[in-house]
A and B are shown apart, each in its own frame.
Chain A
Amino acid sequence: MFGYIRVNQPELKVKDLERYRAYYCGLCSVIGSRYGLFARTALNYDMTFLYLLHAGLYEDTEKEVNRKCLLRPFSVLGRGRKKENREIVTESAVYAADMNFMIMYHKLMDDWVDEHKTLARITALRYHKRYKELSARYPRQHKAIVRYIRLLHRCEKAGDADLEKAAGLTGEAMAEIYVREKDCWEEPLRSMGYYLGKFIYLMDAYDDVEKDLSTGNYNPFKNLYREGVLTEKAEEYFRLLMGGCCRAFEALPILENADILRNILYSGVWLGFSETAGRRNRAANGEEVQTRKRGCGK
């Protein structure tokens, strides 16, 4: 359910895109050095956003490295003749890497509990000790994630009719993750995390509504979909949530990375929505075309 908080690439300046990639690669390599290759594959755009946000807010000193990358063997193709990746590593990367790891661990455990994926269980067992260390280091975040998983299961099982219930739980967990330390920026960061968490959950639900209807899984958008007003309503709701998020963002004194962050917040977050809406739109139109053709054949 991750990956919605990303950049809108064509609207980004070339230097900002380079910078975004360098942050992405920097975070990836920090995860690699702390947790190994497998954990690197679990890196997502949402965490890269958190990394950029914290780095911009706390104005960390940046360290730049160029490195060859195993995970991107073809990078030569897309990036001229350069065979090395630029990486930006700051103190904030460690926090984002740790959070990424904690979420990954719970995702693995979840896969084991829900779908009995043995491989997930084995991997999780391997990381168990590391996770213990982290939960001692970040007790607040640990508690929030554990609570979230428990309550979300309950909510989805009960099939809660409240559209915002499950999303709100995601928001509350994300709020804790966004707050790195209890300083003067706690409130706006908490608010950003809350709205983004909600946004991510509902965006995922929006994506999966057909699938969930056929499998019978919980989805808060089912009713709106049946009524045929989903896209229109969802767009308004997403705008409302992003409005809340961006108000908090604009209250933060962020100057560095601000263009990239705004590209994500005001534009990139909509890419997932427009993909799904476009897909549904075409599916609806396609059906019409087909019926017309069939009509001609008669």
Chain B
Amino acid sequence: MDPYKVLGVSRDATDDEIKKAYRNLSRKYHPDANVNNPNKAQAEEMFKRVQQAYDQIMKERQYGGSSYGQGSGQSSSGYGPGGGYDGGFGGFGDFWGFGGSYNRQRQQSNEPIELQAAANYINAGHFQEAMNVLSRMNERTARWYYLAAIASSGLGSQINALEYARTAERMEPDNMQYRSLVSRLESGGAWYQTRSDGYGWGSGQGMDSVCLRACLCMSCSSCFGMPVCCI
């Protein structure tokens, strides 16, 4: 079922239009609003459908189509905000796809058994276990950094993930897999920067150019060493 049809909006609707449509429909079909409705069951069914449609559209738009539930790794790291949300919801869904091609490569190379184990854990979504195996290894090859980057990302450590991926790329600059991982990990920050340009925080804005009177009311605060009273 086309989620856009459920919400009654076109495919090129803006995010805000979708949110508005969702709000209107969910208010209309909300169980509380249909207590005395003879078609109560139908309204409830519609309510669920609207919710699903909204979820699906937002996942597609914000996370490029990977779904919430993809990260089977959630169980391994407890609830793991990063592991759970980012692994599943957060757009690194493609990593699970790397298992197939990885297995083929593995048979050809004489990769240490620990790296194979770590890769298997990653494929199963057990990022913490993968990280445990990796951290016990002394020999750190580019492949090691690559796997550590994926495991860190799955655990919600984006900063470590990026640094590991960069190290892998530095060690083997020609490896497309490493390079694409780096740019994928960088993409969140780039996306954010583009968006924040519209909110008075352009990339070119220097450190001092921003007016710092933001210490709203309440008290005198010393910004830049000078007491600025902003009551």
A and B from one complex: yes
Say whether B54 faces chain A, with CB atoms less than 8 Å apart: yes
Residue B160 contacts which of A7, A162, A250 (CB distance < 8 angstroms)?
A: A162
Cβ–Cβ contact B90 & A9, under 8 A? no
Q: Residues of B contacting A168 with CB < 8 Å?
A: 82, 156-157
B68 touches A (CB below 8 Å): yes
Contact status B58-A251, CB under 8 Å: yes
Closest to A273 in B: B207
Complex Cα distance, B83 from A244, in Å, reads 13
Residue of B nearest to A7 (CB): B214
**Cα A263 to Cα B210 with chains together (Å):** 14
Most A Cβ at <10 Å: residue of B91, B157, B193, B216? B216
B157 touching A275 by the CB < 8 A rule?
no
Interface stretch among B17-25, B31-39, B139-147, B170-178? Answer: B17-25
A191 touches B224 (CB 8 A): no
Do A193 and B81 have beta carbons less than 8 Å apart? yes
Interface residue tally on B, bucketed by range: 35 or more
**List of B residues within 8 angstroms of A247 by Cβ:** 62-63, 90-91, 188, 191
Q: A-B pairs with CB below 8 Å: how many?
A: 163
Which residues of A in the span 224-271 have a Cβ within 8 Å of any Cβ on B? 236-237, 239-244, 246-248, 250-251, 253-255, 258, 262-263, 266-268, 270-271
Verify if B217 is at the interface (C-beta below 8 Å from A): yes
Known A-B contacts A172-B81, A191-B89, A253-B54; the reply to A277 vs B207 at CB < 8 A is: yes
**For the complex, is B227 an interface residue (Cβ under 8 Å from A)?**
no
* Among A10, A248, A270, contact of B213 (Cβ-Cβ < 8 Å): A10
Partner of A240, one of B23, B162, B195, B214: B162
Whole-angstrom CA separation of A194 from B156 in the bound complex: 9
| Cα distance A8–B217 in the bound complex, in angstroms | 13
Complex contact B81–A175 (CB within 8 A): yes
Contact between chains at B217 and A243 (CB < 8 Å): no
Shortest distance in angstroms between B86's beta carbon and chain A's nearest beta carbon?
A: 7
Q: Which residues of B contact A246 (CB under 8 A)?
A: 192, 195
A131–B51 Cα distance when bound, in Å, is: 36
Stretch at the interface among B100-108, B112-120, B121-129, B198-206: B198-206
Residues of A62-76 at the interface with B, using a CB-CB cut-off of 8 Å, are 71-72, 74-75
- A244–B210 contact, CB under 8 A? no
Interface positions of A (Cβ within 8 A of B) = 6-11, 20-21, 24, 45, 59, 71-72, 74-75, 77-78, 162-164, 168, 171-172, 175, 184, 187-188, 190-191, 193-194, 236-237, 239-244, 246-248, 250-251, 253-255, 258, 262-263, 266-268, 270-271, 274-275, 277-279, 281
